[in-house]
């Protein structure tokens, strides 16, 4: 098992492979702390629904822990892509359990369960909420059938894109018609930036920290580092060019 000061130098694949093999508590705690930002981002997605941030965040952290325990690095899926729908599912179950339970006929409910399961599986595969046609294709059913199942189960009377499609779920219709969720993008961008930092030198890392995390201007950074603003301007261009190259390299 790597000592604590060496854990941070492990890649995501190495980190989860070692935890999968050793199940070391210290490594698990490090992994959870490393990815707590996912729980924070997804918690904020569910605010203003009558529940305090701390209560939702606690549930999100439980979902994160479950994701860490179930994640299989050999499947080739990034941890953030696996953890996001897992945490969202845990939060939605929390909201569902707090609400009223609507009973539907067993046959309709069983079909609905298949639709719901397909949606979760496709969310993990696609990294976003699947469209109606994608769920229909996955289950080898028509789009009309998918919508009829939802309607006949009286799960929800959909009248707007903001309204929930499922009574036991917080999913809105706009999620199923394929609108991109900004939360996924923020998580993916965070992972990309963290991995990319290994390709920058000490001066470039300090600039990135001050410019994009501490929100300082070029002049403020120049004064802080004791260099000219022209130097900082050129450094920023260099940093952005390097990020672009790394991004296109990772996408191919």
Cα 20 to Cα 22: distance, rounded to the nearest angstrom: 6
Chain segment 126-172, per-residue pLDDT in tens: 888 888 788 888 888 887 777 766 655 444 433 333 444 444 444 44
- In the chain, which ranges are continuous DSSP H helix? 4-7, 12-22, 25-34, 36-45, 53-70, 79-98, 106-126, 132-139, 143-152, 173-176, 182-196, 202-208, 218-225, 229-251
Cα 226 to Cα 222: distance, rounded to the nearest angstrom: 6
Task: Give the residue, 204 or 178, on which the prediction is more confident.
Answer: 204
Residue in the structure block whose two tokens are 């120049």: 222
Task: Give the residue, 98 or 38, on which the prediction is more confident.
Answer: 38
**How many residues appear in the chain?**
252
Chain segment 196-231, per-residue pLDDT in tens: 788 889 888 888 888 877 888 888 898 988 988 888
Cα 86 to Cα 60: distance, rounded to the nearest angstrom: 9
């Amino acid at each position: 098992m790597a000592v604590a000061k060496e854990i941070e130098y492990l890649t995501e694949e190495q980190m989860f492979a070692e935890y999968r093999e050793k199940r070391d508590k210290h490594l698990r705690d490090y992994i959870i702390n490393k990815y707590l930002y996912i729980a924070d981002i997804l918690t904020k997605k569910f605010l203003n629904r009558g529940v305090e941030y701390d209560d939702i965040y606690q549930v999100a952290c439980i979902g994160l822990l479950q994701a860490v325990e179930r994640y299989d690095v050999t499947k080739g899926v990034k941890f953030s892509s696996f953890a996001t729908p897992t945490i969202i599912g845990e939060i939605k179950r929390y909201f569902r359990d707090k609400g009223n339970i609507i009973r539907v006929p067993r046959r309709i409910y069983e079909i609905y369960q298949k639709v719901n399961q397909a949606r979760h599986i496709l969310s993990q595969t696609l990294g976003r909420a699947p469209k109606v046609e994608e769920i229909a294709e996955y289950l080898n059913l028509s789009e009309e059938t998918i919508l009829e199942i939802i309607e006949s189960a009286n799960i929800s009377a959909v009248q707007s894109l903001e309204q929930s499609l499922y009574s036991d779920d917080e999913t809105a219709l706009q999620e199923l018609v394929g609108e991109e969720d900004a939360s996924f993008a923020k998580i993916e961008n965070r992972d990309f930036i963290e991995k990319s930092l290994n390709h920058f030198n000490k001066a470039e890392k300090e600039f990135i920290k001050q410019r994009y995390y501490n929100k300082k201007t070029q002049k403020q950074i120049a004064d802080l580092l004791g260099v000219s603003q022209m130097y900082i301007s050129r450094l920023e261009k260099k940093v952005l060019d390097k990020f672009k190259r790394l991004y296109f390299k990772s996408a191919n």
